[in-house]
Amino acid sequence: MDVYVVSEFAPDIDACQHRCVSNSRSLLELTPVETVACCSPLVQEPISAEQADGIAPLLKAIADPVRLRLLSLVASHEGAEACICDLNEAFDLSQPTISHHMKVLHEAGLVDRDKRGVWVYYRIRPQALAGLAALIGCPVP
Amino acid sequence: MDVYVVSEFAPDIDACQHRCVSNSRSLLELTPVETVACCSPLVQEPISAEQADGIAPLLKAIADPVRLRLLSLVASHEGAEACICDLNEAFDLSQPTISHHMKVLHEAGLVDRDKRGVWVYYRIRPQALAGLAALIGCPVP
């Protein structure tokens, strides 16, 4: 199996990319969020097949109307954090369905979670959203 | 059938949202790119079910590794434009498969296309990418 080192795809190494390279981790070992952080913006240079494979799960996670709403509900909630009980109330869906969608967002690396008492709380990972936005094409400041 | 006017979901109307409202067009009539342009960032306020339904097809279009690479190839090409012949050369896929993926990106509103001689040329729609990036969460300048 070929293992590609991130630096092969990123000749112009910025601070973020340096972290990837200095860890000597191959793209195949990175999470979707880490892969996004290692990519140049889509418009800057063609992304590689390995990068695209790494990023697609992150986009798939938010390419669902319910998950997009759940993500926005958590992100716009006070402290960018919400209890699963608040999320359940906002949808006409069963609790297991909501929990399943939140699990997909968590596994994609878009939210952190922790249990407090009987409830699970979800917190947005701002760097994941910022990385995805930068990849797609934020205006250069 | 209920028809929702954009202004119901956007009490703080900015210049972009004003265009949506002044056209008196319901969310159900907007393209995915127009819906994105009418949304506040995910982190600012919860997006509505109608907005999420409108935006998901745009995210689905890029949540595929081949389409993500195609989009990046066009976006990073000179003039943010590429001939289908250049795209065919970059992939080990059949021409009909590439054309199908480009059709999905075109129908989502991410690329424009026109025919010159025997070849179709695709050009990125920067406002579509910028709108999507802003929705997900670009840093506030």
Nearest to A105 by CA among A54, A49, A64: A64
Residues from chain A contacting residue B52 (CB–CB below 8 Å)? 65-66, 68-69, 72
Q: In whole angstroms, give the CA distance from residue A102 to residue A71.
A: 8
Q: Contact, A128 vs A33, CB < 8 A?
A: yes
Q: Token pair of A72, please? A: 């926005």
Residue B26 bridge partners (DSSP): B5
Per mean pLDDT, which range of A20-29, B24-33, B100-109, B118-127 is the poorest?
A20-29
Q: Token pair of B68, please? A: 């993500």
Nearest-by-Cβ selection for B69 from A47, A69, A126 = A47
Q: In whole angstroms, give the CA distance from residue B107 to residue B101.
A: 10
CA angle B21, B25, B30 (to 5 degrees): 110
Q: Which chain B residue has the Cα nearest residue A59?
A: B63
Interface mutation vs chain A, best among B47, B72, B87, most A CBs within 10 Å: B72
DSSP code of A140? P
Enter the pTM of the model.
0.81
The DSSP string of B60-87 is: HHHSSHHHHHHHHHHHHSGGGEEEHHHH
Instruction: Give the pLDDT confidence score for residue A139 in this predicted structure.
Output: 76
Which whole number is the average pLDDT over B50-61? 94
Please give the residue that has the higher pLDDT: either B106 or A8. B106
Helix axes A49-62, B65-76, angle to 10 degrees: 110
Whether B67 has a pLDDT exceeding 80, the answer reads: yes
Q: In whole angstroms, give the CA distance from residue B64 to residue A57.
A: 8
% of chain B exceeding 90 in pLDDT: 68
Whether B19 has a pLDDT exceeding 70, the answer reads: no
Of the pLDDT bands very low, low, confident and very high (cuts 50, 70, 90), residue A19 is: very low
Q: Which chain A residue has the Cα nearest residue B127?
A: A137
Q: In whole angstroms, give the CA distance from residue A28 to residue A122.
A: 27
Check CB contact under 8 Å for B43 and A138: no
Q: Token pair of B98, please? A: 């590439």
Q: Contact, A39 vs A51, CB < 8 A?
A: yes
Interface mutation vs chain B, best among A92, A122, A138, A140, most B CBs within 10 Å: A138
Instruction: Give the pLDDT confidence score for residue B20 in this predicted structure.
Output: 54
Q: Contact, B37 vs B131, CB < 8 A?
A: yes
Nearest to A31 by CA among A135, A136, A133, A128: A128
Check CB contact under 8 Å for B133 and A129: no
